[in-house]
Structure 1
Amino acid sequence: MRQGYLLPFYMIGYGVIRCFVEGLRTDSLYLMPGVRVSQGLSGCLILLGVLLVGIIRRRKDIQA
């Protein structure tokens, strides 16, 4: 794997798995009807990971 991509891919993978697992739980805190707080946090992790991948790619394109 290329240098700098481990953290964003970990965040994306962890966010996807956690979102799925939290969807199976029955004792969750709801932010809105149908949206759990923990799933919202997982979604934020996924978006942040994708954003970091985009930033890393853009910086490497500028340097090249």
Structure 2
Amino acid sequence: MGIGESIKGAVKQKVGDVTDDDALQAEGDAQQTKGDEQTRESRERTEAKAHEEKADALEKEQRSLEN
């Protein structure tokens, strides 16, 4: 999702550079930025899920030690 958008945006931007098409350059830049943000969001969600799983495991361990 994000990586594909970044790649498509980079290609559009390069084509815009070669053809001297400012609109295509801007569109490519925006698409690349969107893809970068999607990739960042996906990475952060994955990290958050890992932290939640670790916290759940530690909570279970604490409960077992209390009993």
Question: Which bracket does the TM-score occupy, shorter chain normalised?
Answer: 0.5 to 0.7
**Structure holding more strand per residue:** 1
Paired positions, count: 50
Q: Considering only aligned residues, what root-mean-square deviation do their CA atoms show, in Å?
A: 2.2
Stretches of structure 1 that go unaligned for 5 or more consecutive residues are 1-9
TM-score, normalised via structure 2 length: 0.53
- Rg larger in structure: 2
Give structure 2 stretches of 5+ with no counterpart.
55-67
Counterpart pick for 1:49 among 16, 39, 42: 39
Higher RCO (CA < 8 A, seq sep 6+): 1
Counterpart amino acid of residue 50 in structure 1: R
Q: Please, what TM-score do these two structures have when normalized by structure 1?
A: 0.54
